[in-house]
Amino acid sequence: MRLGREGYQRVHAAAYETSRHLARQIGAMGTFTLLFDGDPATGITAVTWQLDPDRTHAFSLFDLAEKLRARGWLVPAYTLPADRKDLTVQRIIVRHGFSHDMADLLLADMRRALALLQAAPPSVPSTHAENGSFTHNATPAVPAAPPAGNAT
């Protein structure tokens, strides 16, 4: 109400522009296939991608999510629900306040993480069971380990 219709439209236009910028830059990295590019005509201010299925990768999106988490970013990697559990994606939802400058900082950290993963890939790519970061049914992303000293 306090922004008025024009102010509200400007806020959302800025969020859509930031999501489109992220999509263009993530698509240009050559490692990913975009599944949703933040197009305001078809959805929300979000970007979703998978590893390019036509290339072989020595790491998973879970590995990338962990590298980004180490830099302070929460960019979840998760498998889709029941009929598409074979597909792992990452997603960014752009909210009011996530600026173009912040997007550029995230993109720089993504490029840094990709360079690290390509230079020194994990011996075995991580899976959701090891590094899960999102579930669709409100359960813990990674099952809790039994307390130390418990023989089970």
Written out in words, the top-level CATH class of the domain with range 4-128 is alpha beta
Residue 137 has pLDDT above 90, yes or no: no
Query: How confident is the model over 18-23, as a mean pLDDT?
Result: 97
99-133 per-position pLDDT tens digit: 999 999 999 999 999 999 999 888 666 665 555 55
Q: What is the pTM of this model?
A: 0.79
The domain locations on the chain are: 4-128
Average of per-residue pLDDT across 10-19: 92
| Residue 121, CA atoms < 13 Å, CB-side half-sphere | 11
Average pLDDT over residues 53-57: 91
* Reported confidence tier of residue 25, pLDDT bands at 50, 70, 90: very high
